[in-house]
């Protein structure tokens, strides 16, 4: 916590004006701090009379770190299928487990899940833990959370990975709190440090302007979530061998305070820009909603889906489910065509792992060209119609 020594404070106002979070306020004879304080320490450094200090609580170091071994993935199972993020997590989990020389396990909670072991083993798992219980048929945060806590305490993995999906984002922080472990959300890179086996968890920070690498040296497991489509699933290998183990849980653990009255399927436009091979994305450079008619035309010629930058979504030109980026979706298509998008870091983090990026922009210095495989410098209202015309010509030539 921030400690304020009012005997030393001269109410000069330097800390108040320098606080990036507007958390300090000068009163008559001393400065006061409110709940916006993030303990960033800027005020401590700026205080010329030494009236401010940060009191650090006693650091807790877990004593049994060496007892925790292996990598565990929380496998998401919804409406009878395993969510694709599970296979992506097994892809990166396999690499981490190999780097540590340990096993890779996956936990599946639900009902009628018995037949899913082989596909998880083919995707890289050595061990599949199944908890098949009627109370786990639908996602309930408390029941899933207590079940996962129990399995983690029982199996003691050193690393736990989960999808940064609606379910993962809801239950994993709950589990991390129950077991007092560190958790890094929305990681874009995970790797093992060779010297000491530490999990290095990299994610965008400060609005995406820097990439921060986070370590959890004092507690186990090291927990991380990863958004869908950020990691790549391994090619399934049907010859892999693994073990499937059923786990019974105490009835108390599966009881829930949540009662599901009804499940309603959203009737909003169903767009899944994460599942398609080609995306044509439009940004502020379209200048108006009408620009998306051109984007849709190009997308339709290519059998592609339409994506957008946040600037286009915020302008109301296209709904949010199309947004790519830090606060939108992460996509990994074979081809991503960025039209009138500058390539701000918050957009780039959502699409830079596309196999091929084609950028159309009239500014030759736009950052999108730094990540583009092919770049076209020009006015999109001239370039896109020319592209559409050429695609139509090629199609009609090949149909002759
Ligand atoms: C916390 C935070 C989270 C964010 N999350 C996201 C996110 O998830 N996704 C996201 O996209 N952004 C996000 N942003 C916003 C991001 O910083 C940028 O503001 C945004 O990506 C810019 O969108 P844009 O490239 O469409 O627009 P601009 O940056 O305005 O770029 C428009 C581009 O179009 C070009 N252009 C203009 N006219 C033409 C023309 N006729 N022909 C060809 N080119 C033309 C210009 O040269 C320019 O490069 C976030 C920002 C913050 C702070």
The model's confidence at residue 251, banded by pLDDT at 50, 70 and 90, is confident
pLDDT of residue 228: 87
Nearest ligand 1 atom to the CA of 368 is 49
Q: How many structural domains is the chain composed of?
A: 3
> What does the pLDDT average to over 337-363?
95
| pLDDT over threshold 60, residue 269 | no
| 37 and 165 both lie in a single domain | no
> Is 352 touching ligand 1 by the criterion CB < 6 Å?
no
pLDDT at 266: 63
Task: Give 95's DSSP letter.
Answer: H
Note whether residue 271 is domain-resident.
no
Q: What is the CATH number of the domain that holds 146?
A: 3.40.50.620
The pLDDT tens digits for 6-54 are 999 999 999 999 888 899 999 999 999 998 888 888 899 899 999 999 8
pLDDT at 10: 95
183-229: pLDDT as tens digits: 999 999 999 999 999 999 999 887 667 889 999 999 999 999 998 88
Same-domain check for residues 300 and 212? no
pLDDT grade, residue 339 (50/70/90)?
very high
Give yes or no: residues 110 and 196 share one domain: yes
**Do 93 and 24 share a structural domain?**
no
Nearest CA to ligand 1 atom 1: 207
238 in a domain, yes or no? yes
Mean pLDDT over 129-153 rounds to 94
pLDDT for 80 equals: 85
Read off the CATH number of the domain in which 21 is found: 3.30.70.20
Name the packing angle between helices 141-155 and 166-179 (round to 10°): 50
Same domain, 47 and 129: no
Atom of ligand 1 nearest to the CA of 360: 43
Residues 88 and 180 in one domain: yes
Picking from 54, 82, 98, the residue at the C-terminal end of a domain is 54
Indicate whether 219 and 360 sit together in one domain.
no
In percent, how much of the chain has pLDDT > 90? 76
Q: What's the 162 CA to ligand 1 centre distance in angstroms? A: 30
375 pocket-lining for ligand 1 (C-beta < 6 Å): no
Q: How far is the CA of 232 from the centre of ligand 1 (A)?
A: 26
Of 294, 268, 300, which Cα lies nearest the Cα of 282?
Answer: 294
Query: Using a 6 Å cutoff on CB, does residue 229 contact ligand 1?
Result: no
What is the structure's pLDDT at 205? 82
Question: Does 387 reside within a domain?
Answer: yes
Q: Is 327 in the pocket of ligand 1 (CB under 6 A)?
A: yes
- The separation between CA 217 and the C-alpha centre of its own chain, rounded to angstroms, equals 22
Contact residues for 165 (Cβ-Cβ < 8 A; gap 6+):
76, 83, 85, 227, 228
One domain for residues 100 and 196: yes
- Site of tokens 């998008």: 341
- Do 120 and 15 lie in one domain? The reply is no
What distances in angstroms separate CA 326 from CA 69, 143, 206, one per listed residue? Answer: 32, 30, 11
- What gap in Å lies between CA 378 and CA 384, rounded to an integer? 10
- Indicate whether 60 belongs to any domain: no
Q: What is the pLDDT of residue 253?
A: 74
- The rounded distance, in Å, linking the Cα atoms of 155 and 158 is 9
Q: For position 142, what pLDDT does the model report? A: 94
E strand residue ranges, 10-103 = 24-26, 31-33, 52-54, 71-75, 77-78, 81-82
335 within ligand 1 shell (Cβ under 6 A): no
The residue assigned the tokens 């990540």 is 371
Average pLDDT, integer, range 75-80 = 88
Instruction: Determine whether the shortest distance from the Cβ of 281 to ligand 1 is under 6 A.
Output: no
Give the residue among 156, 161, 182 at the shortest CA–CA distance from 93: 161
For residues 296 and 191, membership in a common domain is answered with no
Express each pLDDT in 279-335 by its tens digit. 999 999 999 999 999 999 999 999 999 999 999 999 999 999 999 998 899 999 999
Q: Is the CB of 362 under 6 A from ligand 1?
A: yes
Query: pLDDT above 70 covers what percent of the chain?
Result: 96
Does the beta carbon of 315 sit less than 6 angstroms from any atom of ligand 1? no
The predicted structure's pLDDT at residue 356: 97
Pair (82, 210) in one structural domain: yes
Domain end, chosen from 54, 76, 96, is at 54
Give residue 267's pLDDT band: very low, low, confident or very high (50, 70, 90). low
Domain-located, residue 268: no
What radius of gyration do the chain's Cα atoms show? 25
Helix (H, G, I), strand (E, B) or coil at 305: strand
CA distances from 68 to 90, 158, 161, 293 (A): 19, 5, 15, 55
Is 273 a member of any domain? Answer: no
State the closest ligand 1 atom to the C-alpha of 207, by its place in the atom list counted from 1: 1
Cβ burial of 130 (10 Å; 0-12, 13-18, 19+) is: buried
Mutate to test the pocket of ligand 1, among 279, 341, 384 (most ligand atoms within 8 A of CB): 341
If you average pLDDT over residues 134-139, what whole number do you get? 90
Does residue 383 fall inside a structural domain?
yes
Question: The domain that contains 323 carries what CATH number?
Answer: 3.40.50.1220
Q: Is 75 in the pocket of ligand 1 (CB under 6 A)?
A: no
Asked whether residue 270 carries a pLDDT value surpassing 70, the answer given is no
Asked if residues 163 and 228 have their Cβ atoms less than 8 Å apart, the reply is yes
Q: What integer pLDDT is reported at residue 308 of this predicted model?
A: 97
Q: Which atom of ligand 1 is nearest to the CA of 380?
A: 42
- Give the helix/strand (H/E) hosting 184: strand 183-184
Atom 52 of ligand 1, residue of closest alpha carbon:
207
Q: Which range of residues forms the domain containing residue 169?
A: 65-254
Whether residue 113 lies inside any domain: the answer is: yes
145 lines ligand 1 (CB under 6 A): no
Q: Are residues 296 and 219 in the same domain?
A: no
């Amino acid at each position: 916590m921030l400690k304020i020594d009012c005997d030393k404070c001269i109410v000069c106002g330097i800390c108040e004006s320098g606080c990036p979070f507007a958390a300090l306020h000068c009163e008559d004879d001393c400065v006061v701090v409110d709940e916006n304080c993030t303990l960033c320490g800027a005020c401590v450094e700026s205080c010329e009379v030494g009236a401010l200090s940060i009191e650090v609580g006693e650091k807790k170091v877990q004593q049994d770190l060496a007892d925790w071994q292996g990598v565990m993935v929380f496998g998401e199972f919804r409406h009878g299928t395993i969510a694709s993020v599970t296979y992506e997590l097994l892809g990166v989990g396999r690499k981490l487990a190999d780097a540590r020389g340990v096993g890779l396990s996956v936990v599946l909670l639900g009902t009628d899940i018995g037949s899913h072991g082989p596909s998880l083993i083919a995707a890289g798992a050595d061990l599949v833990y199944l908890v098949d219980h009627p109370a786990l048929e639908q996602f309930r945060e408390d029941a899933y959370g207590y079940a996962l806590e129990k399995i983690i305490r029982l199996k003691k993995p050193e690393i736990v990975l989960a999808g940064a999906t609606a379910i993962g984002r809801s239950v994993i922080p709950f589990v991390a709190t129950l077991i007092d472990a560190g958790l890094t959300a929305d990681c874009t890179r995970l790797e093992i440090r060779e010297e000491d086996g530490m999990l290095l968890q990299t994610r965008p920070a400060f609005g995406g302007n820097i990439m921060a690498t986070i370590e959890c040296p004092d507690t186990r497991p090291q927990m991380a979530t990863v958004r869908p489509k950020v990691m790549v699933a391994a090619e399934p290998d049907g010859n892999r061998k693994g073990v499937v183990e059923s786990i019974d849980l105490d009835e108390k653990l599966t009881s829930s305070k949540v009662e599901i009255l009804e499940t309603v399927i959203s009737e909003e436009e169903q767009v899944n820009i994460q599942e398609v091979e080609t995306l044509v994305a439009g940004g502020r450079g379209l200048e108006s909603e009408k620009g998306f008619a051109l984007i849709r035309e190009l997308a339709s010629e290519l059998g592609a889906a339409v994506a957008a930058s946040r600037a286009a979504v915020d302008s109301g030109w296209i709904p949010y489910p199309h947004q790519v980026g830090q606060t939108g979706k992460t996509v990994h298509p074979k081809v991503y065509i960025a039209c009138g998008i500058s390539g701000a870091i918050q957009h780039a983090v959502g699409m830079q792992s596309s196999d091929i990026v084609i950028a159309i922009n009239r500014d030759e210095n736009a950052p999108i060209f730094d990540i583009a495989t092919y770049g076209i410098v020009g006015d999109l209202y001239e370039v896109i119609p020319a592209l559409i015309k050429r695609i139509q010509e090629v199609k009609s030539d090949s149909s002759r």
